[in-house]
């Protein structure tokens, strides 16, 4: 990850001691060590940038404090180790305050101390490089234009909403059926926002028992209740400076919703067993596959909390409404699966494409991923055929023909199913089914 060699500048006017330091440091073949007898030479345009500078405190061409500050200005990322004959604590403290990494006295053990200090600096630099690399990879991974695969109008609308979400700290509510990728969108929003350097903390509300949700989100003090053997930091505090993702918020216990509302409004919380107020600093992203508006009407979700978390709504379309995105996603998952398992690439045959496009995908993108991964395993050649694809229902249609209904009864069932799906919007249902609104009215009247 770091192709540039680890470079050390040694500034020491005593030629013998300079050679001694250079010799000891050069014992490590990974180090490139450069020798300087004065500070002026260090600032000559040589094109090299040091990772570490060892600086003799007493040089004939300047005071230690002044040279240190000049080095920090000229090479802001370099760590400076002061090497001095003095054991003056006040001087050492002042130099450390000005930015020196360490202060080493010229003594018998100077070699060991210097090598240990340089080794620690190198480890810290390598760790920082690794962290920077990982952060770049994470941002690349959640570049939503790459990770949310699709070209359909429905997905482009989601892209537009994500673009709006990443410019501010507005609360975001992500809705959609199970398997549509709500957490992926939440991460895309976080890792492209100004809070990307902070943590992304995800909580599946549905997976936490109602009696533990307060402790999980707010934390608790030692001894707050039976089993609280130590203080615990809650998810709100963990997400400080970042984003808190509350998945399946519609499953939250009604009695706790008032406490969550207060925390969101006041931006402060109290751990269980404490009276101290703790300020919160995190962006809230929530997700649900429920109709929260209906839950409010039915008394299952607080109306005031609903309006507090609603913010910017991002509705994820089901896969069946994403047209040929099915084939784009299928190819992406197949290529990824083959790469991860070191398999030769596979293509989707025309009959297999038709089979996928005719399927309803009740499990959405998650189901498609599972289906195509299995198809790769089942495929014997380079082309995935329709026979290699196993669907949960034949050709995507439920097996209702065995019920022996009349054609009119089947038609009525389809109309009712679409009315339920589109919130009794008769105009929209008529457009989807390609029939007149008057036909739907007549069918509902039993004519």
Task: Please name the residue that has the structure tokens 């990974």.
Answer: 30
- Short-list 107, 159, 447, CA closest to 322: 159
b/e sequence 122-136, b meaning 16+ C-beta within 10 Å: beebeeeeeeeeeee
3-state secondary structure of 226: coil
pLDDT bucket at 447, cuts 50 / 70 / 90: low
For 71, other C-beta atoms within 10 Å of its C-beta total 23
Q: In 3D, which of 121, 3, 105, 131 has the Cα closest to residue 51?
A: 121
Q: What is the mean pLDDT of residues 70-83?
A: 90
pLDDT tens sequence across 220-270: 998 888 888 888 899 999 999 999 999 999 999 999 999 999 999 999 999
Burial of 54: CB neighbours in 10 Å, binned 0-12, 13-18, 19+: buried
3-state secondary structure of 377: helix
The distance from CA 111 to its chain's CA centroid, rounded to whole angstroms, is 44
User: What are the distances in angstroms from CA 141 to CA 129, 132, 168, 340?
Assistant: 18, 14, 21, 16
What is the pLDDT, as a whole number, of residue 270? 93
Helix orientation angle between 437-445 and 426-433, rounded to the nearest 10 degrees: 110
Would you place residue 415 in the very low, low, confident or very high pLDDT band (cuts 50, 70, 90)? confident
List beta partners, residue 315. Answer: 175
Please state the length of the chain.
447
| Residue intervals in the chain for CATH 3.40.50.300 | 143-315
- What's the confidence (pLDDT) of residue 397? 46
139, pLDDT greater than 70: no
Q: How far apart are CA 115 and CA 177, in angstroms?
A: 59
Per mean pLDDT, which range of 47-61, 78-92, 120-134, 242-256 is the poorest? 120-134
**Six token digits for residue 416:** 């009712």
Positive or negative, the CA dihedral 207, 212, 216, 222 is negative
Mean pLDDT of the region 278-289: 95
What is the rounded average pLDDT of the residues 333-340?
Answer: 91
Percentage of the chain surpassing pLDDT 70? 91
pLDDT band at 127 (very low <50, low <70, confident <90, very high): confident
pLDDT band at 137 (very low <50, low <70, confident <90, very high): low
pLDDT at 405: 66
Q: Give yes or no for a contact between 225 and 270, defined as CB atoms under 8 angstroms apart.
A: no
Query: Quick one: pLDDT at residue 441?
Result: 84
- Overall average pLDDT of the 3-21 stretch: 88
Instruction: List every span in the chain annotated with CATH 1.10.8.60.
Output: 319-396
Q: Which fold has domain 401-445?
A: Arc Repressor Mutant, subunit A (1.10.10)
Per the CB < 8 A criterion, the answer to whether 320 and 312 are in contact is: no
Q: 6-136, superfamily in CATH?
A: Response regulator (3.40.50.2300)
Domain 319-396: which topology? Helicase, Ruva Protein; domain 3 (1.10.8)
Q: Where are the beta strands (DSSP E) in 306-423?
A: 312-315, 347-348, 383-384
For the chain, residues classed under CATH 1.10.10 are 401-445
Residue 141 confidence (pLDDT): 52
Per-residue burial over 73-105, b = 16 or more CB atoms within 10 Å of its CB, e = otherwise: eebeebbbbbbbeeeeeebbeebeeeebbbbbb
Q: Kindly state which CATH superfamily the domain 143-315 is placed in.
A: P-loop containing nucleotide triphosphate hydrolases (3.40.50.300)
Mean pLDDT of 398-424: 72
Residue 394 in this model has a pLDDT that exceeds 70: no
Q: What Å distances lie between residue 332 and 76, 316, 368, 373, 384, CA to CA?
A: 44, 19, 11, 11, 14
Report the C-alpha gap between 244 and 235 in whole angstroms.
7
> Mean pLDDT across the chain, nearest whole number?
87
Match 């020196």 to its residue by tokens. 100
The percentage of residues in the chain with a pLDDT greater than 90, rounded to a whole number, is 49
Q: Which of 173, 197, 195, 194 is nearest to 185 (CA)?
A: 173
pLDDT score recorded for residue 1: 44
Residue 46 confidence (pLDDT): 64
pLDDT digits (tens, 9 = 90+) for 171-226: 999 999 989 989 989 998 998 899 988 999 999 999 999 899 999 999 999 888 88
Residue 147 confidence (pLDDT) = 65
Nearest to 55 by CA among 44, 45, 66, 64: 64
**What residue spans in the chain does CATH classification 3.40.50.2300 cover?**
6-136
């Amino acid at each position: 990850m770091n192709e540039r060699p680890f470079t050390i500048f040694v500034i020491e006017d005593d030629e013998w001691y300079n050679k001694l330091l250079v010799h000891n440091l050069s014992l490590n073949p990974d180090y490139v060590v450069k020798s300087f007898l004065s500070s002026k030479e260090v600032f000559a345009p040589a094109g090299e940038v040091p990772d570490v500078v060892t600086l003799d405190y007493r040089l004939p061409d300047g005071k230690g404090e002044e040279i240190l500050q000049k080095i920090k200005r000229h090479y802001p990322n370099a760590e400076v180790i002061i090497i001095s004959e003095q054991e003056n604590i006040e001087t050492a403290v002042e130099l450390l305050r000005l930015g020196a990494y360490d202060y080493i006295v010229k003594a018998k053990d100077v070699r060991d101390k210097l090598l240990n200090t340089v080794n620690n600096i190198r480890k810290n630099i390598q760790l920082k490089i690794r962290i920077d690399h990982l952060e770049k990879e994470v941002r690349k991974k959640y570049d939503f234009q790459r990770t949310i695969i699709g070209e359909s109008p429905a997905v482009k609308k989601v892209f537009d909403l994500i673009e709006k979400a990443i410019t501010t700290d507005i609360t975001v509510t992500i809705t959609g059926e199970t398997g549509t990728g709500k957490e992926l969108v939440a991460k895309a929003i976080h890792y492209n926002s100004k809070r990307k350097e902070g943590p992304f903390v995800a909580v599946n509300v549905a997976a936490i028992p109602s009696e533990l949700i307060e402790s999980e989100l707010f934390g608790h003090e030692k001894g707050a209740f039976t089993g609280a053997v130590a203080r615990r930091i809650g998810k709100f505090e963990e997400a400080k400076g970042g984003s808190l993702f509350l998945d399946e918020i519609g499953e939250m216990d009604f009695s706790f919703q008032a406490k969550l509302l207060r925390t969101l409004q006041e931006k402060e919380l109290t751990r269980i067993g404490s009276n101290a107020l703790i300020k919160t600093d995190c962006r809230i992203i929530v997700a649900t596959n429920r109709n929260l508006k209906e839950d409010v009407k039915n008394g299952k979700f607080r109306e005031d909390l609903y309006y507090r978390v609603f913010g910017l709504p991002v509705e994820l379309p089901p896969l069946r409404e994403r047209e040929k995105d099915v084939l784009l996603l299928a190819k992406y998952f197949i290529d990824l699966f083959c790469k991860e398992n070191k398999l030769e690439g596979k293509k989707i045959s025309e009959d297999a494409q038709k089979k996928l496009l005719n399927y309803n995908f009740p499990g959405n993108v998650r189901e498609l991923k599972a289906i195509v991964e299995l198809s790769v395993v089942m495929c014997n050649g380079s082309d995935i055929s329709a026979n290699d694809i196993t669907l949960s229902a034949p050709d995507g249609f439920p097996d209702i023909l065995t019920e022996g209904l009349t054609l009119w009864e089947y038609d009525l069932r389809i109309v009712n199913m679409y009315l339920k799906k589109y919130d009794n919007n008769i105009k929209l249902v008529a457009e989807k089914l390609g029939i007149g609104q008057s036909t739907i009215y007549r069918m509902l009247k039993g004519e």
